[in-house]
C-alpha cells in the first residue's frame, strides 16, 4: 500500500494461497476511500471481541451498528476504538456503542460530507436515507490520507487505492482470479517468464470475456513478435524483460533473453502503434536506469531488487558481514521452487500463523514452478538465485528520492515531462551516445582514497 500512497502501484505476489492473496487485495481496497459503500457493519448483540477481530484483520475499529448488522439496516449507533478500550471481550456492543450520532443525508456530495465530518470533529460520518437506514460511511482517516498523500494512485470515482495482483496461467488461477476480483481487484498481472505461450493467450481471452473491465498486464516479452500475440489477444499493457533482473540467470543458463534497453525500445515502439503501454521489468538499479527506460519508450518501470531492502519488503533483517540486509530471491531460484513442499509434522506445526490451517499452507500451487512451466519436472533447473540486499530504509523515503531524482534528470536533459522526453528521442533532440570503458570510469567516482556514498537525505 505504501507504493500506491506515493503514486506507484505494488503488485501482490501469488506464491501463497488464493485466500491469503484475496485478503491482501481486500486490505488495499479498504485502506482509503471516498464514500465507503461496503463498510463492516455489526449488530448490538455482537460483542467487543468481534470489533477486536475486525481491528486485527483490517486495521480499524470504527464500525457502524444497525438492527440487521448489514448495510441498509436502521442505524442504531457506532463503535469506536475508545468505546472498547478496557472492556471485557464478552461485553455486548449495545452497552458500549455511541448513540448520539452526527449523520449526513443520502445524496450529499463528497465535498459537502467532508465539510460536515471536518466540523463535527468525529472520526466517522454515517450517510443515511430518509428512513434512517445506513447507505454508506465516510472516515476522517481518509481525509488525512488524502491530505498527506496527494499523489496516491487511486480510482477517481471511489477514491480507493488501485489494487494489483499477479496470477499464473493454469486452470487453478482462474479460480484464484475469481476470488481476487470479488475482493476488489483492479489490475491483474499475468506472471510468466515467457509470455508468448498458448497458456497466456488463452488466459487473456478468458479474462477479457469474463471480466471485461479488469485491466490485464501480460508478459514477459522481449520482441515485437511476442508482443503482437499478446496485443492481439487483448492485453492492456505489456511487461518487457527476460533475464535482466538482478537475481535472474535465464540468459546465462538458458542462452535465452535480450539486452533490456534493446527489448524495451523494440517492444515499446511496436506496442505504441496500438496504444498499448509497456513496463520495463528488470535491470533497474538507480535513477539513471529509470530515465533510460522512460526515454526508450517505457510508460513505467518494475522494481524488485531496488526495493527489496526496504522496510516494507517481505522478510526479516539480519546482519551479514557487518551490514544490515534482507534476504532476496528470484522466482526462478531453487528456494522459491521448493516453497510449499510438505515437510515434517513438527515443521508444519511451527509454520502456523494467524490461524491459517496446514491445508492452506500446503495445497496451493507453487507460483515459481508454474511461472517456468516446470511443475511436473523431476529435476528443477534454476533460472534465478537467492541472496541478500542492503537495508534501504522505508519505501516512504526511498520512493520520493527516486521521484525527485527523475525530476532532476529531466531538468538536466532539458525537458519538462516524460512525454516531452520520449518525443525528443523520436525527433532526435535527445540522443543516446555510446560510452567507452574509460568514459564510464570518468563518469563515476574516481581519484579518491576513500569516500562515502549517500543517496539521499
Return d(Cα 135, Cα 127) in angstroms, integer: 6
> What would the pLDDT profile of 257-299 be if each residue is shown by its tens digit?
899 999 999 999 999 999 999 999 999 999 999 999 999 999 9
Is residue 26 within 8 A of residue 57, CB to CB? The reply is: no
Lowest mean pLDDT among 55-69, 116-130, 323-337, 345-359: 345-359
- Confirm whether residue 329 is marked as ligand binding: yes
Q: Give me the active site residues, please.
A: 248, 371
Report domain 192-311+395-443's class.
alpha beta
What is the average pLDDT across 22-49? 90
Instruction: Identify the pLDDT of residue 371.
Output: 59
**Residue 182: what pLDDT?**
96
* E-strand stretches of 253-297: 278-281
pLDDT of residue 95: 94
**Residue 322 in grid coordinates:** 557487518
Q: Is 409 annotated as a binding residue?
A: no
Rounded mean pLDDT of the chain?
A: 88
According to DSSP, the residues that pair with 37 across neighbouring strands are none
Q: Is 176 annotated as a binding residue?
A: no
Q: Looking at 79-88, 201-210, 249-258, 353-362, which range is the least confident one?
A: 353-362
- Does position 146 have pLDDT exceeding 90, yes or no? no
431 is in an annotated binding site: no
Domain residue ranges of the chain, discontinuous segments joined by +: 36-148, 192-311+395-443
- Give pLDDT tens digits for 305-358: 899 989 998 888 999 989 899 888 776 677 766 765 543 333 333 433 333 334
Q: How far apart are CA 244 and CA 285, in angstroms?
A: 11
| Percentage of residues of the chain with pLDDT beyond 90 | 60
Q: pLDDT digits over 212-239, tens only?
A: 999 999 989 999 999 999 999 999 999 9
pLDDT of the residue at 74: 95
**Does the structure show a pLDDT above 70 at 365?**
no
Helix (H) or strand (E) holding 251: helix 250-254
CATH architecture of 36-148: Roll (3.10)
Number of C-alpha atoms within 13 angstroms, CB side, residue 49? 4
Q: Any known ligand binding at 246?
A: yes
* pLDDT score at 338: 72
Amino acid at each position: 500500500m505504501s507504493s500506491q500512497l506515493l503514486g506507484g502501484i505494488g503488485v501482490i505476489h501469488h506464491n501463497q494461497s488464493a485466500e491469503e492473496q484475496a485478503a491482501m487485495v481486500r486490505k488495499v481496497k479498504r485502506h482509503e476511500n471516498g464514500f465507503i459503500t461496503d463498510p463492516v457493519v455489526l449488530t448490538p448483540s455482537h460483542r467487543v471481541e468481534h470489533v477486536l477481530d475486525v481491528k486485527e484483520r483490517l486495521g480499524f475499529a470504527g464500525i457502524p451498528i444497525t438492527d440487521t448488522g448489514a448495510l441498509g439496516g436502521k442505524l442504531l449507533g457506532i463503535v469506536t476504538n475508545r468505546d472498547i478500550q478496557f472492556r471485557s471481550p464478552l461485553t455486548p456492543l449495545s452497552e458500549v456503542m455511541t448513540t448520539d450520532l452526527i449523520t449526513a443525508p443520502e445524496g450529499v456530495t463528497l465535498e459537502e460530507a467532508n465539510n460536515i465530518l471536518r466540523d463535527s470533529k468525529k472520526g466517522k460520518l454515517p450517510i443515511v436515507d430518509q428512513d434512517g437506514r445506513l447507505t454508506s460511511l465516510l472516515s476522517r482517516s481518509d481525509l488525512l490520507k488524502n491530505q498527506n498523500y496527494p499523489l496516491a494512485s487511486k480510482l477517481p470515482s471511489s477514491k480507493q487505492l488501485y489494487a494489483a495482483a499477479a496470477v499464473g496461467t493454469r486452470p487453478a488461477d482462474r479460480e484464484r482470479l475469481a476470488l481476487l476480483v470479488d475482493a476488489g481487484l483492479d489490475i491483474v498481472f499475468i506472471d510468466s517468464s515467457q509470455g508468448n505461450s498458448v497458456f497466456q493467450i488463452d488466459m487473456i481471452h478468458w479474462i477479457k470475456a469474463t471480466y471485461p473491465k479488469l485491466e490485464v498486464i501480460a508478459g514477459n516479452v522481449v520482441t515485437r513478435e511476442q508482443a503482437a500475440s499478446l496485443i492481439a489477444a487483448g492485453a492492456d499493457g505489456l511487461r518487457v524483460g527476460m533475464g535482466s533482473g538482478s537475481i535472474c540467470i535465464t540468459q546465462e543458463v538458458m542462452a535465452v533473453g535480450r539486452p533490456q534497453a534493446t527489448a524495451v525500445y523494440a517492444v515499446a515502439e511496436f506496442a505504441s502503434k496500438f496504444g498499448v503501454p509497456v513496463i520495463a521489468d528488470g535491470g533497474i538499479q538507480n535513477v539513471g536506469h529509470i530515465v533510460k527506460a522512460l526515454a526508450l519508450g517505457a510508460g513505467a518501470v518494475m522494481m524488485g531488487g531496488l526495493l527489496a531492502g526496504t522496510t516494507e519488503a517481505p522478510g526479516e533483517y539480519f546482519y551479514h558481514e557487518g551490514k544490515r540486509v534482507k534476504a532476496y530471491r528470484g522466482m526462478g531460484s531453487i528456494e522459491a521452487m521448493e516453497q510449499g513442499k510438505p515437510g515434517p509434522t513438527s515443521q508444519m506445526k511451527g509454520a502456523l500463523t494467524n490461524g491459517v490451517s496446514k491445508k492452506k499452507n500446503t495445497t496451493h500451487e507453487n507460483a515459481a514452478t508454474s511461472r517456468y512451466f516446470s511443475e511436473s519436472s523431476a529435476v528443477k533447473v534454476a533460472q534465478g538465485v537467492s541472496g541478500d540486499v542492503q537495508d534501504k530504509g522505508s519505501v516512504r523515503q526511498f520512493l520520493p528520492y527516486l521521484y525527485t531524482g527523475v525530476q532532476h534528470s529531466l531538468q538536466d536533459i532539458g525537458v519538462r515531462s516524460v512525454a516531452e522526453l520520449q518525443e525528443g528521442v523520436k525527433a532526435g533532440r535527445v540522443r543516446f551516445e555510446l560510452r567507452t570503458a574509460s568514459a564510464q570510469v570518468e563518469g563515476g567516482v574516481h581519484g579518491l582514497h576513500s569516500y562515502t556514498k549517500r543517496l539521499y537525505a
